[in-house]
């Protein structure tokens, strides 16, 4: 064998070894805290990406750090194994009898990035997703990169403290409010400071979230803690003007003391109260929240965000409307919208509970007062108006199930989103894009709340299956061809917005028409379903009903318009 042939063979095997090793070894990176070892994943279209999972962005909020604002994570020695996600935050026993799960040591984030070769100098737009769950449930771990990472963006998800552990307060520095939202702010700050190491552009960070995650995104637009850390925002099915988005500070303090008494802690001295609460098992605190349930899981607005006293470190130092009017908010482009039949998930659940459905029929006003958290002793007159508007003289049964879905849609989503878009149109000089997602796909999350087949429209949560992989929730049933089209459509518009603050900068085979921002009080919106088409004034009669009713109930936020 000639020397040349031997050399060629050696070089071939060396080359083969390098290539094989590059494909099988784990990706490496470094952030301010230390080194990271991640792992490779593949997207829906087969693209290889890098995943760094379970990165601590804050110290564990345990022991003396329980009920305190988050503290940045310490540096670590050596290289952190970032191949598996961290624990979900402690949660459960609140909504639909969810069992306790998770852990207090939960302040982790996950970062997914396209493979960036050393010779490349690309800078990717960054999308930070905030999970929903009523500020009481869920984790960022379930929102994978399989779809969005086909569109040249970086995706970040994270956990934050929930329910009582994240939102109890004494109204003073002993137990400051909004610690769950402060966790979110610290995670976003971590992304802003470190994403450049992964090829991300810290000047192009977009926050997006669904349900209470969408509410959270909206909150960050009003918080001094997060201002300047992101350039665009997307709120899916949630704004901070919903009744389930903000709690009166006095009511929140009262709820916190009631829970403290229930677990055996004193309440007269706030310092001693919090000291005692720090010694109580996290599971006992989480499960104690169930004492507030008056009708199934209602009222859900127990431990939620609130307006804080104006002190250093406050997340929300004053009323959001005042912040908006004064111009002290993050004036960034915003997408806000909803699914066409949001309340179907709630209707589906109620139709599995004959006891609740019977009680709703017989004691409608009492149930509505609990749902709306309205303590007015004369609420019955409002309850009668609500029942007449949605059901007339009919019973709440199979013939009026869609009406029940509309009722819960309007209570929790429609009227609040409409109001938020109107307020931003009046006070912001940045574009506001409004939408209604109406595509009814092969699967619906309403099936998971009710008895299949229970699909009466596009339910709350249904938009998520077009942005994230949720096939496993439906027996590994893949998206249909039509569903795949809407998945490509949503992913394209959302990532366009992250990159260029415009969801439809160009039209093509996927995006058939331009999506224009809202320009008038008619609130023009894009209907995403049956193609793309522009309309205005979504659900006018239902919105007008709640505007009139809320004026009578002395909820006068409409006077700001």
> Is 237 marked active-site?
no
Q: Are residues 358 and 293 part of one domain?
A: no
What's the pLDDT score for residue 451?
73
What's the CA gap between 252 and 246, in Å, rounded? Answer: 10
Q: Are residues 352 and 316 part of one domain?
A: no
What's the pLDDT score for residue 94?
64
Of 332, 363, 389, the residue that ends a domain is 332
Farthest-apart Cα atoms in the chain, separation: 101
Sheet holding 124-130, edge to edge: 39-42, 48-56, 108-114, 153-158, 124-130, 200-210, 232-236, 334-339, 432-437, 524-528, 532-536
Of 332, 348, 365, the residue that ends a domain is 332
Q: Are residues 312 and 393 part of one domain?
A: no
Tokens of 6: 């031997």
What's the pLDDT score for residue 20?
40
Tokens of 476: 């590994």
Tokens of 475: 């027996």
What is the residue whose two structure tokens read 């009523």? 134
> Is 460 marked active-site?
yes
- Whether residue 6 lies inside any domain: the answer is no
Q: Are residues 462 and 506 part of one domain?
A: yes
| Catalytic residue from among 341, 342, 447, 459 | 342
- Whether residue 83 lies inside any domain: the answer is yes
- Whether residue 9 lies inside any domain: the answer is no
Residue in 276, 305, 328 with CA at minimum distance from that of residue 176:
305
Tokens of 129: 């997703």
- Whether residue 16 lies inside any domain: the answer is no
DSSP 504: -
- Whether residue 473 lies inside any domain: the answer is yes
CB neighbour list of residue 246: distance below 8 Å, 6 or more residues apart = 240, 301, 304, 305, 306, 307, 320
| Catalytic residue from among 231, 418, 434, 460 | 460
Q: Are residues 389 and 313 part of one domain?
A: no
Q: Are residues 431 and 308 part of one domain?
A: no
Of 303, 332, 361, the residue that ends a domain is 332
Question: What digits encode the pLDDT tens for the residues 360-410?
Answer: 999 999 999 999 999 999 999 999 999 999 999 999 999 999 999 999 999
> Is 8 marked active-site?
no
Q: Are residues 221 and 124 part of one domain?
A: yes
Q: H-helix or E-strand containing 192? A: helix 179-194
| Catalytic residue from among 50, 185, 211, 235 | 211
Q: Give the pLDDT of the chain (561 residues) as one tens digit per residue.
A: 444 433 444 333 433 333 344 445 899 999 999 999 999 999 999 999 999 999 999 999 999 999 999 999 999 999 999 999 999 999 986 665 678 999 999 999 999 999 876 666 789 999 999 999 999 999 999 999 999 999 999 999 999 999 999 999 999 999 999 999 999 999 999 999 999 999 999 999 999 999 999 999 999 999 999 999 999 999 999 999 998 899 999 999 999 999 999 999 999 999 999 999 999 999 999 999 999 999 998 998 899 999 998 788 999 999 999 999 999 999 999 999 999 999 999 999 999 999 999 999 999 999 999 999 999 999 999 999 999 999 999 999 999 999 999 999 999 999 999 999 999 999 999 999 999 999 999 999 998 888 766 667 999 999 999 999 999 999 999 999 999 999 999 999 999 999 999 999 999 989 999 999 999 999 999 999 999 999 999 999 999 999 999 888 866 544 555
Q: Are residues 386 and 252 part of one domain?
A: no
- Whether residue 11 lies inside any domain: the answer is no
- Whether residue 14 lies inside any domain: the answer is no
What's the CA gap between 265 and 257, in Å, rounded? Answer: 9
Q: Are residues 318 and 357 part of one domain?
A: no
Domain of residue 305, CATH code: 3.40.50.1820
Q: H-helix or E-strand containing 45? A: none
For residues 490 and 466, is the Cβ–Cβ distance under 8 A?
yes
Q: Are residues 380 and 328 part of one domain?
A: no
What's the CA gap between 337 and 436, in Å, rounded? Answer: 6
Q: Are residues 418 and 368 part of one domain?
A: yes
Q: Are residues 327 and 199 part of one domain?
A: yes
Number of domains in the chain: 2
- Whether residue 187 lies inside any domain: the answer is yes
For 478, the domain range is: 340-561
């Amino acid at each position: 064998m000639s020397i040349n042939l031997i050399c060629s063979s050696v070089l071939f095997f060396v080359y083969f070894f390098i290539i094989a090793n590059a494909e099988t070894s784990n990706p490496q990176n470094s952030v301010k805290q230390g080194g990271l070892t991640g792992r490779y994943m593949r997207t829906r279209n087969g693209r290889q990406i890098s995943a760094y999972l379970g990165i601590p962005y804050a110290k564990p909020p345990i022991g003396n750090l329980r009920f305190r604002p988050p503290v940045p994570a310490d540096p670590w020695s050596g290289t952190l194994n970032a191949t598996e996600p961290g624990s979900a935050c402690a949660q459960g026993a609140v909504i639909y009898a969810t069992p306790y799960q998770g852990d207090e040591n939960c302040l982790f984030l996950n970062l997914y990035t396209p493979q960036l070769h050393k010779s490349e100098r690309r800078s990717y737009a960054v999308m930070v997703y905030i999970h929903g769950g009523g500020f009481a449930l869920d984790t960022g771990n379930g929102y994978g990169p399989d779809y969005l990472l086909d569109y040249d963006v970086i995706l970040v998800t994270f956990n934050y403290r929930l329910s009582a552990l994240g939102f109890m307060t004494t109204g003073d520095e002993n137990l400051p409010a909004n610690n769950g939202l402060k966790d979110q702010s610290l995670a976003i700050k971590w992304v802003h400071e470190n994403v450049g190491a992964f090829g991300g552009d810290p000047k192009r960070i977009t926050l997006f979230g669904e349900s209470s995650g969408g509410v959270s995104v909206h909150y960050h637009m009003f918080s001094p803690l997060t201002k300047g850390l992101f350039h665009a925002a997307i709120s899916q099915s949630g704004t901070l003007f919903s009744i389930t988005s903000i709690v009166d500070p006095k009511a929140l303090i009262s709820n916190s003391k009631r829970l403290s008494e229930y677990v055996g802690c004193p309440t007269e001295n706030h310092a001693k109260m919090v000291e005692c609460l720090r010694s109580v098992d996290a599971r006992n605190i989480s499960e104690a929240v169930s004492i507030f349930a008056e009708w199934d899981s209602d009222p859900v607005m127990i431990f939620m965000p609130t307006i804080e006293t104006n002190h250093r470190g406050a997340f929300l130092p004053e009323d959001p409307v005042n912040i908006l009017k004064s111009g002290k908010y993050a004036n960034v482009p915003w997408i806000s919208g909803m699914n066409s039949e949001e309340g179907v998930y709630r209707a589906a659940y109620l139709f599995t509970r004959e006891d609740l459905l019977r009680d709703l029929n017989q004691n409608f006003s009492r149930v509505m007062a609990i749902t709306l958290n309205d303590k007015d002793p004369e609420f019955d007159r409002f309850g009668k108006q609500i029942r007449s508007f949605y059901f007339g003289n009919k019973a709440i049964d199979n013939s009026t199930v869609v009406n029940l879905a509309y009722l819960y849609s309007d209570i929790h989503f429609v009227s609040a989103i409409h109001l938020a878009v109107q307020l931003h149109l009046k006070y912001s000089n940045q574009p506001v894009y409004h939408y209604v997602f109406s595509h009814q796909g092969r699967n619906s999350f309403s099936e998971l709340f009710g008895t299949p087949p229970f699909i009466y429209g596009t339910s709350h949560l249904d938009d998520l299956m077009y942005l994230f992989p949720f096939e496993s929730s439906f027996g590994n049933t893949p998206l249909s061809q039509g569903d795949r089209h809407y998945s490509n459509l949503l992913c394209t518009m959302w990532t366009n917005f992250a990159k260029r603050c415009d969801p439809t900068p160009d039209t093509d085979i996927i995006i058939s028409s331009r999506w224009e921002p809202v320009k008038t009080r008619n609130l023009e919106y894009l209907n995403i379903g049956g193609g793309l088409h522009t309309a205005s004034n979504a659900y006018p009669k239902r919105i007008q009903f709640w505007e009139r009713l809320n004026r009578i109930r002395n909820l006068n936020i409409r006077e700001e318009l």
